[in-house]
Structure 1
Amino acid sequence: MQLFGEQSAPLIGIDISSAAVKVLQLSKSAGRYRVEHYAVEPLPANPTGDKSAVQTEVIGAAIKRAVAKSGSKSKHAAVAISGSSVITKVITVTGGVDDQAMEEQVFDEASNHIPYQMEEVSLDFEVLGPIPNTESVQVMIAAARTENVEARQAELEIAGLEAKVVDVEVFALENAFKLIFNQLDIPAGGLTAVVDIGANLTTLNVIKEGRSIYSREQVFGGKQLSEEIMRRYGLSFSESGAAKKLGGLPESYESEVLEPFKEGVAQQISRLLQFFYSGSDYSRVDQIVLAGGTASIAGLDQVVEQHLGVSTMTANPIASMTVSPRVQAHALAADAPALLIACGLALRSFD
């Protein structure tokens, strides 16, 4: 199983988070991407934390519904496993050897860095390039327990799909980063903090020259806002989720619930960045990019920018794409900040 994967046939990018399945398929013409198919399908509360066969069925069924809703007929998919279940590392090996010798070197060296038996692991690698003035090359390895890769394959099989690429979320993010790069205002060699705020987890990736140099997760997300709406207004979880998107809450919601939540998001981002600064030679990032479903909250970018004193924008990976008439453009635009990983996976069609 390829963790980096190369494809030419159209792939459906399928991003599976704890709260939803996001499906996206792209085409490319004259150097420009077009959104051909897209859908978002909610998942029952936090199924991905449970690896039981029942939850595999639940996720598989949700993928099937999402693909049907999107209208895609493709049977090939690119899917990702989360960073927390993947070991990535840059290692050094001797260059100038044939493919088989390179593979043997990488596997030998990788076994020194992976805390599992190698027979339990799916491993792939990518040669990053030579180290100046040496005969060595740097190689990025990605290793995941085979059971995690097989779980993703099983979920897709339930939906009638084949996993052509099993990627790693951080690599999918790097792949999608080029879609937003022209929207950034950073100096050459500058640092971009991509903060993906999901339902349950907030993930910080610090990107330098297109590669993630730091990643950290924190348990915090949009679910906290939903729970506060439930508590305040006596709504069910699904009702609170709908009210967040569609409105209809009392006037006091804005000042008593939403604004404090936005400030809480800014504090969480500040805390994540402090972890990065304390463990690196850096003391500042040049720009913050908000992604994930929670990033769609109006004015959140302004609150973060004000609190942290760093230019902040909301991710829009589809900004320069055209859209098929069959796609609901308004819904797609609303979901755009949550589609970074799905975009990165869909782009594997063109590797």
Structure 2
Amino acid sequence: MSALDFLRKKNKPLIGLDISSTTIKLLEFSKHGSGYRVENYAVKPLPPNTVVEKNINEPEAVAQVLKALVQSARTKTKDAAVAVSGSSVITKLVEMPGDLNDEQMEAYISTEADQYIPYPLEEVALDFDVQGPSQKNPDQVEVLLAACRSENVETRVGVLEVAGLTPKVVDVEAYTMERAFELVREQLDDQDEQVVAILDIGATMTTLSVLVDGKTIYTREQLFGGKQLTEEIQRRYGLSAEEAGLAKKQGGLPDDYETEVLEPFKDAVVQQVTRSLQFFFSSSQYNDVDHIVLAGGVAALEGLAGLIEEKLGTPATVADPFANMSIASRVNSAALSGDAPSLMIAAGLALRGFE
């Protein structure tokens, strides 16, 4: 059983690194009064199939892209935070004696964890966080246990080390998204006690996180993403994957693109959002959400939030974690604004340095 730093507090600036199936995104913040400033931001594409469904298949190739990314960002910070996907993590709320210190609790968990974790403990990275007193027994405390296959953690740690970085935090994407939500929460109306659905629609994966009063109560991943739009552009217009990706961002496609390709894809996104929410409603006490926040690269599609709001009758917002931040002069603010919805995970990781 190895140690895993999902939940421990940090007090130094960290580079937040989101390693997705198509890109690596880098963010670095500094603290300014009660707010933050974006000090560094960079994105680099990954070669095809180096990361598949959030699993790193070719660590050396990913490490070389990361190394080039760090060099291009010209950051002096070497400490970094990275995340594993929620589907690779098991979390369990357990009760333990309330009079144990951290070392005693760690020893207790080491002897008791096998009853909660369905893998051999020598193959697992484990962390815990005390949530507070037990409501059932005043002598006990509730402890959040988080476990992940060691290889998922070690692969990411290895990639960072090869790139010349010091891995300080391996977080869970769901907790990272929850942290980043605090940056967009004040942009919503009636913030208290709200049920908010965050739809993170990336290149190949859509992740639904539902938060009640800012705390995650539900997450689910499904295979669906912007790659389907890229592939349809390739097929219809005879372009390479790289050409289709550029055309999707920069324009210049034939006149029928909007009606024949883009609008049907937007309809497919609405169906995916609807389906994801239905899964949540069927497995919880809730039958509605107060607000939908769109994150991920697909969220930036013009008119998508309005279409979802119209079809579902629920207010929808495109995530912008930088709306109330200052931006360093070396940062390309226009590019940052365009990529903002896809930088929620990286933002949540960068925030770990200020807890």
TM-score (norm 1): 0.96
For residues 283 and 53 of structure 2, the distance between their equivalents in structure 1, rounded to whole angstroms, comes to 32
Q: Secondary structure at the match of 1:111?
A: helix
Q: Secondary structure at the match of 2:51?
A: helix
How many residue pairs end up in the alignment? 351
Q: Give 1:52 deviation, angstroms.
A: 9.9
For residues 56 and 189 of structure 2, the distance between their equivalents in structure 1, rounded to whole angstroms, comes to 46
Q: Deviations over 1:187-214 (max 9, x none)?
A: 5322100000000000001011222111
Q: Give 1:312 deviation, angstroms.
A: 0.5
Counterpart in the other structure of 1:217: 221
Counterpart in the other structure of 2:276: 272
For residues 195 and 189 of structure 2, the distance between their equivalents in structure 1, rounded to whole angstroms, comes to 10
Q: Give 1:101 deviation, angstroms.
A: 2.8
Contact 1:200 1:220 in 2 (8 A): yes
Counterpart in the other structure of 1:11: 14
Contact 2:56 2:155 in 1 (8 A): no
Correspondence 1:80-159 to 2 at 5 A: 80-132=83-135, 134=137, 135-159=139-163
Contact 1:19 1:42 in 2 (8 A): yes
Alignment identity in percent?
Answer: 51
Q: Give 1:3 deviation, angstroms.
A: 2.3
Q: Deviations over 1:151-177 (max 9, x none)?
A: 001111121111011111111111111
Q: Please state if 1:206 is matched with 2:237.
A: no
Unaligned runs of 5+ in 2: none
Cα separation, partners in 2 of 1:128 and 1:247, compared to 1, 3 Å: same
60-69 or 310-319, which moves further after superposition?
60-69
The residue identity in structure 2 corresponding to 1:278 is S
Q: Deviations over 1:318-343 (max 9, x none)?
A: 11000000000000000000011101
18-27 or 93-102, which moves further after superposition?
93-102
For residues 341 and 187 of structure 1, the distance between their equivalents in structure 2, rounded to whole angstroms, comes to 21
Cα separation, partners in 2 of 1:350 and 1:33, compared to 1, 3 Å: same
Contact 1:27 1:33 in 2 (8 A): yes
Question: Among residues 232, 237, 241, which one is paired with 1:233 in the alignment?
Answer: 237
For residues 289 and 193 of structure 1, the distance between their equivalents in structure 2, rounded to whole angstroms, comes to 6
Counterpart in the other structure of 1:196: 200
Cα separation, partners in 2 of 1:16 and 1:3, compared to 1, 3 Å: same
Counterpart in the other structure of 2:296: 292
Counterpart in the other structure of 2:285: 281
Question: Among residues 142, 161, 180, which one is paired with 1:176 in the alignment?
Answer: 180
Contact 1:5 1:167 in 2 (8 A): no
For residues 31 and 51 of structure 1, the distance between their equivalents in structure 2, rounded to whole angstroms, comes to 34
Contact 2:180 2:344 in 1 (8 A): yes
Contact 1:206 1:213 in 2 (8 A): yes
For residues 55 and 149 of structure 2, the distance between their equivalents in structure 1, rounded to whole angstroms, comes to 16
Q: Give 1:99 deviation, angstroms.
A: 2.3
Q: Give 1:252 deviation, angstroms.
A: 1.1
Contact 1:178 1:210 in 2 (8 A): yes
Question: Among residues 307, 318, 325, which one is paired with 2:322 in the alignment?
Answer: 318
Contact 2:178 2:214 in 1 (8 A): yes
Contact 2:132 2:141 in 1 (8 A): yes
Q: Secondary structure at the match of 2:135?
A: coil
Counterpart in the other structure of 1:78: 81
The residue identity in structure 2 corresponding to 1:257 is V
The residue identity in structure 2 corresponding to 1:57 is E
For residues 181 and 57 of structure 1, the distance between their equivalents in structure 2, rounded to whole angstroms, comes to 38
For residues 18 and 289 of structure 1, the distance between their equivalents in structure 2, rounded to whole angstroms, comes to 22
Q: Give 1:34 deviation, angstroms.
A: 0.2
Unaligned runs of 5+ in 1: none
Counterpart in the other structure of 1:335: 339
For residues 245 and 269 of structure 1, the distance between their equivalents in structure 2, rounded to whole angstroms, comes to 22
Contact 2:185 2:191 in 1 (8 A): no
Counterpart in the other structure of 1:350: 354
Cα separation, partners in 2 of 1:275 and 1:158, compared to 1, 3 Å: same
TM-score (norm 2): 0.95
Contact 1:125 1:141 in 2 (8 A): yes
Q: Give 1:11 deviation, angstroms.
A: 1.0
Cα separation, partners in 2 of 1:15 and 1:63, compared to 1, 3 Å: same
The residue identity in structure 2 corresponding to 1:104 is A
Q: Give 1:93 deviation, angstroms.
A: 1.8
For residues 130 and 112 of structure 1, the distance between their equivalents in structure 2, rounded to whole angstroms, comes to 22
Cα separation, partners in 2 of 1:261 and 1:54, compared to 1, 3 Å: closer
Q: Secondary structure at the match of 1:317?
A: coil
Q: Secondary structure at the match of 1:194?
A: strand
Q: Deviations over 1:229-285 (max 9, x none)?
A: 111111111101000110001111111111111110010010011111111111001
